[in-house]
Structure 1
Amino acid sequence: MRKNYYALVGGVLLFFISLVSQATDVDSTAIYQAKIDSIENSLKYQHGTIKLEGGIGEVTIPTGFKYLDPKQAEYVLTDLWGNPKQSTLGLIVPENQGVLGDKAWAFNIQYDEMGYVKDDDADDIDYEELLEEMQNDIVEASKERVAQGYEPIKLVGWANKPFYDEDRKILHWAKEIKFGDEEVNTLNYNVRVLGRKGVLVLNAIGSMQELPVINKNIDKVLNIVQFSDGYKYSDFNPDVDEVAAYTVGGLVAGKVLAKVGILAFVGKFFKIIAVAVIGGVSALWKWLTGRRKDDTELATATDETPTSEA
């Protein structure tokens, strides 16, 4: 009789867990979306012409895009997207998207005061050979990331081969990168605008699925940078200005890659949320099944020692 009773109790518990699980899924989805909406609504975007910190110049936000200032950009890159902390001059985000959508992408703005970059090697670079060297370098960089608690990275190859616009002094290229065991590879679309004292960096971060839309919009972004007087490439004075240790080829594979780093896509944020939700359901299951285990042990004991106290 007791065995039938506990079998019935077990069945009721399983039924209850099923109902709770369904309710939890609904509640979790609502909580999840509410959290995302709350974060998105807290961000204050700007439009028009933005003066960059340090007086180096300004960027004119093109039609179809919006801008996040450095403080908010750092919050998105570090806290939401899970990247190592680094300097940023802001993010340029598509107008009709937020930073937490499943198709989110953005341009991160940075400045590297590395000196005047000579461009006389631009036509002589073997980019396939350079790619192989970069892949080997990133193997070593990946070890350092793992030691710091981040997942390993792998440079899969060019998403777009490097191209240098000599007239506008703009270099751009795109890399396909794999983070850990992520199913969707990350896209890093790099733009470097050469100036007198360094280069302005525009680094597009998204998934490989966003490559077509980024390619469609890249021309808008290439023309947004305007260096201040004294910072323009044409203002270079060989008598007083520092010449960078890197030329155009070095920009693709050298100091900027090491200093700026490789940024991960927004998918990390969703993993954190999902793990938290699953963890909550798992805790509930363990609590309920643990109670059931205690009842079963009690039933076994009472079967072996049938006393009135039991």
Structure 2
Amino acid sequence: MTIFLQEMRDDAAEENKWRRENSFQTVELVGWAAEPFYDAATRKLYWAKELAFEGEAQNTLNYNIRVLGRRGVLVLNFIANMDQLSAVNNDVPRILAMTDFAEGNKYSDFDPSIDTVAAVGIGGLIAGKVMAKTGIFVVALVLLKKFWFLLFLPLLWLKSVISKRRNSG
């Protein structure tokens, strides 16, 4: 698990360059708050990271659960203060028991003759490489950063249509 942790720390350091350039606080991955554990019987993976946000006195808990299914993965995240780790740990078994896919979509329903095998493994789920491999997340962030104002164009158009109707009526 040390390899995953180091890879995630390296990724965080790289992301912090962008954060500094864009006037956001940096985030340091302190370490595991709970080491990754894969329950092969239930096909559920969980781990927790301790994060230190620049300028914050208390570290943050980022607790992750992945429930593997036939066609995808259910992602559950808990964000809390580090002093709440024991409370979250106490609730994890109850939460894991409540999460599953509907019949036909469970991991056990996987049929290799018709279903596609996922391109990323357990390590990729932990290190967060699903989006990075496809580049979708990075492209979306760049586009949003450069063209955020385009989100308001439909609203302006709608306002003008309503104004015209009020003025003509």
The TM-score normalised by the length of structure 1 is: 0.41
Identical residues among aligned pairs (%): 49
Q: Does 1:173 align with 2:80?
A: no
Deviations 1:188-241 (A, max 9, x none): 011000001111011110010111111111111111112122311011122222
Would the alpha carbon gap of residues 257 and 176 (structure 1) be closer, same or farther in structure 2, given more than 3 Å must change?
farther
- Verify: 1:226 aligned to 2:100, yes or no: yes
- The equivalences for 1:141-160 within 5 A come to 141-160=15-34
CA distance in 2 between partners of 1:213 and 1:198 (Å):
28
Change (3 A) 1:256 1:220: farther
> In the alignment, which of 239, 249, 265 is matched to residue 123 of structure 2?
249
- Greater RCO, 1 or 2 (C-alpha within 8 Å, sep 6+): 1
Q: Secondary structure at the match of 1:227?
A: coil
Q: C-alpha displacement at 1:132, in angstroms?
A: 1.1
Structure 2 residue ranges without an equivalent (≥5): 138-169
Q: Which runs of 5+ in 1 are unaligned?
A: 1-126, 261-310
Alignment of 1:170-209 (within 5 A): 170-209=44-83
Q: Residues 196 and 234 of structure 1 are in contact (CA less than 8 Å); yes or no, is this contact kept in structure 2?
A: yes
Q: Which position in structure 2 is the counterpart of 1:238? A: 112
Alpha-carbon offset, residue 256 of structure 1: 4.8
Within 5 Å, give how 1:1-310 maps onto structure 2.
127-256=1-130
Measured in 2, the distance between the counterparts of 1:226 and 1:188 equals: 21
Q: Distance in 1 between matches of 2:124 and 2:12?
A: 15
**CA separation in 2, counterparts of 1:164 and 1:226?**
15
C-alpha separation in 2, matches of 1:244 and 1:220: 28
TM-score normalized by structure 2? 0.72
Whole-Å separation in 1 of the counterparts to 2:7 and 2:114: 33
Contact 1:246 1:254 in 2 (8 A): no
State the Cα RMSD in Å: 1.9
SS class of match (1:223):
helix
Give 1:107's aligned residue.
none
| Distance in 2 (alpha carbons) for counterparts of 1:257 and 1:180 | 25
